[in-house]
Amino acid sequence: MTQAKKAKKQASGKDIAFNIFLYALCILILIIIAYPLYFIIIASFSNPSEVANGNVWFWPSQFTVDGYKELFRHGDIWMGYWNTILYTLVGTLIGLVVNISAAYSLSRKDLVGRKLITFFFIFTMFFNGGLIPTYFTIRDFHLYDTFWVMVLPFSVVVYNIIVARTFFDSSLPKELLDAAQIDGCGNLRFFFSIALPLSKAVIAVIALYIAVAQWNSYFNALVYIRSENLKPLQLVVRNILITNQSLVGAGDGLAAQEAMRLANLMKYAVIIITTVPIMCVYPFVQKYFSQGVMIGAIKG
């Protein structure tokens, strides 16, 4: 066997060993990340006492769906689901319009006052008026306790604008705009016909960011929403859990034990019903996610 073949064989053996190590490490990381999610699922179908005693590891113990039955017994939860879906859809659409448009404008080198406008945007990431001035502003604009308070006032997210602006800077060369202008293409046509179709990756990423934030939002609803028919899912389940905890404290004997059992079951069930829907969205944008984040993270 020649020296070159021996070296190639040794290199091949090292590659195999490295691949085995890499796959083992990836599997370990997957288990560390996925097992807590799996545990919450099986715990939601298990007796709370079995969970507390550490008897639940890989499958449910004393299978039960009482937590889900008790949770869905509250009619408000369906109204909360509907409201949250509407807030997420409308909020994501509005957020994409304002953030992508602002990012593209700030990426244009010929924008007058570009640096000053960028400074004003970034300034708001570190300083804001605070909760009370924001409350008065929303009240004076007649947005308080309306549908639009959940989707309009907080639709501009500077971080999303920076990510999208960097994407436009690095992915849309000036020569492309020059060529389009020579052919008679205006700014709006270039944005809608060329810039947006070439920016599917970053649009998908920004949409996912906005949708997740909108789906999980509860603080804005807690402060600015009073009508029961406008409350999102997160606020509805929070009120349900608080109510059940108060019932636990008010009861005694077997009634208190049963209320405690249902309250513990509902905690896990709430996690499942509030996270699974938004997690189902990720596979549809996963192919764009890595590309959009990496390109949008390039600074220069």
CATH of the domain at 99: 1.10.3720.10
Q: How far apart (Å, rounded) are the C-alpha atoms in residues 262 and 47?
A: 9
Please check whether residues 28 and 93 belong to one and the same domain.
no
pLDDT tens for each residue of 20-78? 888 899 899 888 888 888 888 888 888 877 777 777 778 888 888 877 887 788 778 88
Q: How far apart (Å, rounded) are the C-alpha atoms in residues 264 and 51?
A: 10
Q: What is the number of domains present in the chain?
A: 2
Is this prediction's pTM over 0.95?
no
- What domain range includes position 291? 74-232+279-296
Domain boundary among 23, 38, 64: 64
Sequence-ordered list of residues with C-beta below 8 angstroms from that of 181, at least 6 positions apart, any chain: 190
Contact 194, 42 (CB under 8 A): no
Please check whether residues 130 and 38 belong to one and the same domain.
no
Q: How far apart (Å, rounded) are the C-alpha atoms in residues 260 and 247?
A: 9
Per-residue pLDDT in tens (0 to 9) along the chain, 300 residues: 565 555 555 557 677 888 888 889 989 988 888 888 888 888 888 887 777 777 777 888 888 887 788 778 877 888 888 999 999 999 999 999 999 999 999 988 888 888 899 899 888 888 888 888 899 999 999 999 999 999 999 999 999 999 889 888 888 888 887 788 888 888 888 888 888 888 888 888 888 889 888 988 888 999 999 988 899 988 888 887 777 777 666 556 666 676 677 777 777 888 888 887 777 777 776 666 665 555 544 444
Please check whether residues 217 and 90 belong to one and the same domain.
yes
- Within a domain: residue 272? no
Please check whether residues 28 and 89 belong to one and the same domain.
no
Contact 227, 235 (CB under 8 A): no
